Amino acid sequence: MMSSTKVNRLTWLVTLLVISFALVWMRARLNFNGPYLDESNYLFVGKTLLDGGVWQTHTYIFSSDFPLYVFGVGDAFAGLIGARAIAAILGICSLVLYFDAVRRFLRSQQVALFATTLLALSASHGFISKFAVYDIVCFVSFVAGLWALSLAYTRSGYQAQTWAFIASLCLVTAFLSKYVIFLEMPLIGLMILIYRPQLAFALFTPALIIGFGYGYHYRADLQILYQQQIVTAHGNNASYAEILRVTLGYVWPILLLFIFEFKQHWQRTGGHSRNQAMFRWSMWLALPIILYHLRAHDLISFYKHIVYSVVFLAPLASVYLVRLLRQKNNYIAQLPALILIVVAIQGMFQIRAIENAYPDGRDAVAFLKDTIGANSTVLSEDPYLLRHQLRNQIKANHIYENAWFDNDGDQKHTREDVIAGVWDGKFDFLYLDGRITPVTTEKLRKYVVQNKYKLIYQQPYHTSSVMFYQTEGKIEIYQRREPYSGQYPLIPQ
């Protein structure tokens, strides 16, 4: 019969093997699918900016141009995989910074190690660490800001002021890398005013000057962004129930551990403890992202944004894991290992669902690449996929978007514009997948394309439901049968 010590060692050996396998499997496979819609967008625009071109980024992208340059460099060196490799490296950097920040704030290496493991195994962190999207640039900058704050918090005098200044620069970089992180800033500022008011000037001044200066300079573009993207495209696409279901689906193990630790702490202290503030602030800082998506009825990108809730719940959840680990009862002391195995398995399943949440259009693009000419025009549901993948074959302004096509010049971009343009045969090719404008695409396929077009490519696909309710469909490419003979041909601008 094995001794309890040997059982403990075996349990933790198995746990380490499972965690190691999960982390490698979740993060090292960078060629898991073709480019995701946002990846194609950011990589195309990043390469355009690096080449000295101009693109109206501030009217529809939720960031400054900074992260686009970052991924543009990776794309220039090694294509999509190079850009994703940059995301993976930044993801690792964020975990290192997070570990040290938690260690300094809570004064425990064990708690920091557990918290970092929970974050690393979360699907939300895995997503932003392997897709070439600006979320990871924002996240690593934000965590760097928290790390710098942990140094400012534990130092005094000139050193504290210096680290507060560095924290300010990191946090404003996070904001410029994705605007959504602004939701966390007021609470962080309030916390500093309450507990370290002497750091307020060094923390607030750079961030406010840069932030307000940026907002003022791009105020016209940002107003368009607000109306067209936040209010229209990213609003009213999910119910409260759906958003809460997704929230619990991604954070339930960490949330349960957090609640158990809160219950234990309350039973010991009756709520009268200086540490009680940690629970309040952790919960308050975990809520803004969730409340924003609930208020907007917006599920788009929520599976990425939920990482910020994980960041603030994981440390105190890890305090409970350490508490279990120190129990004299051998069975209870092994529970943290089993919990981490559950989290690892869940993370692998969830990251696989995210990887498979959209169709792989690489074969379709390769087919189109061999078919189009330099002056061809294409109407596409996924225009940036084509702009990025075909940038050496066709000009970007020859690729039109289903969602933003204006056929009659009234600036309204309606479904009728697309239907009329296709009915008249204005485009040389159509690229349809039923994902971005499913209703319009269904109408085109059933009633419109037959008038002027022939089907030349079809690829069935099956996806998960993470990004879109429809899990089956077809990528189709149509070619116009005869040259356009109408009165109003397309004239790419």
Average pLDDT over residues 330-348: 95
Which string of DSSP letters, residue by residue, matches 36-57? -HHHHHHHHHHHHHHTT----G
Q: Are 329 and 394 found together in one domain?
A: no
Sheet order of strands, 429-432 included: 399-401, 378-380, 429-432, 472-480, 453-462
pLDDT reported for residue 101: 98
Q: Residue 401 in contact with residue 380, Cβ under 8 Å?
A: yes
- Distances in Å between the alpha carbon of 159 and those of 148, 163, 316, 318? 11, 6, 28, 29
Rg value, the chain, Cα: 25
Average pLDDT over residues 204-212: 96
Average pLDDT over residues 78-83: 96
pLDDT at 228 over 50: yes
Place 201 in a pLDDT band, splitting at 50, 70 and 90: very high
Q: Residue 142 in contact with residue 171, Cβ under 8 Å?
A: yes
pLDDT at 60 over 50: yes
Residues 6+ apart with CB under 8 A from 345: 18, 22
Q: Which CATH number is 375's domain given?
A: 3.40.190
Convert the pLDDT of each residue in 110-139 to its tens digit.
999 999 999 999 999 999 999 999 999 999
492 found inside a domain: no
Q: Are 390 and 321 found together in one domain?
A: no
Q: Are 294 and 407 found together in one domain?
A: no
Average pLDDT over residues 51-65: 92
pLDDT reported for residue 4: 58
Average pLDDT over residues 275-284: 87
Q: Which of 355, 385, 403 is the last residue of a domain?
A: 355
Q: Are 317 and 397 found together in one domain?
A: no
pLDDT at 491 over 90: no
Place 235 in a pLDDT band, splitting at 50, 70 and 90: confident
Average pLDDT over residues 165-178: 98
Q: Would you say how long the chain is, in residues?
A: 493
pLDDT reported for residue 408: 84
Place 267 in a pLDDT band, splitting at 50, 70 and 90: confident
Q: Are 351 and 367 found together in one domain?
A: no
Distance CA 165, CA 151 (A): 11
pLDDT at 1 over 50: no
* Portion of the chain with pLDDT greater than 70, in percent: 97
Q: Are 336 and 426 found together in one domain?
A: no
Q: Residue 374 in contact with residue 399, Cβ under 8 Å?
A: no
Mean pLDDT, rounded, of the chain: 93
Q: Residue 358 in contact with residue 16, Cβ under 8 Å?
A: no
Q: Which of 333, 355, 377 is the last residue of a domain?
A: 355
pLDDT at 232 over 90: no
Instruction: Count the domains in the chain.
Output: 2
pTM of the model: 0.95
Looking at residue 442, its amino acid is E
CB atoms within 10 A of CB 53: 10
111 found inside a domain: yes
485 found inside a domain: no
Listed range (28-42, 80-94, 291-305, 478-492) with the worst mean pLDDT: 478-492
DSSP state of 487: S
Average pLDDT over residues 8-36: 94
Q: Are 367 and 351 found together in one domain?
A: no
Average pLDDT over residues 264-293: 85
Average pLDDT over residues 223-247: 87
pLDDT reported for residue 83: 97
Convert the pLDDT of each residue in 295-331 to its tens digit.
988 888 898 999 999 999 999 999 999 999 999 888 8
Q: Are 91 and 76 found together in one domain?
A: yes
Distance CA 171, CA 211 (A): 10
Place 354 in a pLDDT band, splitting at 50, 70 and 90: very high
377 found inside a domain: yes
272 found inside a domain: yes
pLDDT at 3 over 60: no
Average pLDDT over residues 243-269: 92
Q: Are 330 and 408 found together in one domain?
A: no
Distance CA 316, CA 332 (A): 18
Q: Residue 8 in contact with residue 330, Cβ under 8 Å?
A: yes
Q: Which of 355, 383, 414 is the last residue of a domain?
A: 355
Q: Residue 56 in contact with residue 221, Cβ under 8 Å?
A: yes
* Portion of the chain with pLDDT greater than 90, in percent: 82
375 found inside a domain: yes
Question: Per residue, what are the HEC states of 289-301?
Answer: HHHHHHHHCCCCC
pLDDT reported for residue 330: 85
Q: Are 399 and 347 found together in one domain?
A: no
Average pLDDT over residues 40-53: 94
Distance CA 144, CA 86 (A): 17
Q: Are 382 and 340 found together in one domain?
A: no
Q: Are 115 and 189 found together in one domain?
A: yes
Query: Strand 429-432 vs strand 472-480: parallel, antiparallel, or unpaired?
Result: antiparallel
40 found inside a domain: yes
Average pLDDT over residues 23-27: 95
169: tokens are 């620069």
Q: 402: exposed, middle or buried (C-beta count within 10 Å: 0-12, 13-18, 19+)? A: buried
Q: Residue 75 in contact with residue 43, Cβ under 8 Å?
A: yes
287: tokens are 């809520």
388 found inside a domain: yes
Q: Residue 151 in contact with residue 202, Cβ under 8 Å?
A: no
Domain that residue 9 falls in: 4-355
| Structure-model confidence comparison of residues 476 and 273, the more confident one | 476
pLDDT reported for residue 284: 95
Distance CA 311, CA 143 (A): 9
pLDDT reported for residue 490: 80
Convert the pLDDT of each residue in 450-475 to its tens digit.
999 999 999 999 999 998 889 999 99
pLDDT at 6 over 70: no
Angle in degrees, CA 86, 90, 95, rounded to 5 = 150
